[in-house]
Amino acid sequence: MVAEIIDYELRRELLRARKVSSLARLDNFISHPQILYSPLTTDMMKTAAQLWADVRQKGMPTADVLALDIDCILGAQALAMASSLSIRSADVVVATSNVSHLSRFVNAEMWDKI
């Protein structure tokens, strides 16, 4: 599954760097029939705002106070996915290179170890 916020994070850099062939590969990957795409919803963004506030109240922020904080949004998307599939959030694993931040919200593993 590809979370829309991660598509955004990757796509913006590919666009900035004018990596046309990489953008085409990303579009091809996302359109593959075996790949699910998880679009953002208002409820996900509300959950992300709550996650953002929670980690700051605990003194464990995952980004600068002025940053968008994609980790909170991805965490909210993973929690929503678990809920929509009626599975425990503990059974969802996010593939990432930033385990320390994402594991504050959901199970996270290094992407190259999964």
Domains and CATH numbers, the chain: 2-113 (3.40.50.1010)
* pTM, to two decimals: 0.87
Query: Between the CA of residue 101 and those of 15, 34, 64, 77, what are the distances in Å?
Result: 26, 28, 13, 15
Q: How many alpha carbons lie under 13 Å from residue 30 in its C-beta half-sphere?
A: 18
Instruction: Report pLDDT digits (tens) over 79-112.
Output: 998 998 888 888 889 999 999 999 999 999 999 9
| H or E element at residue 107 | strand 107-110
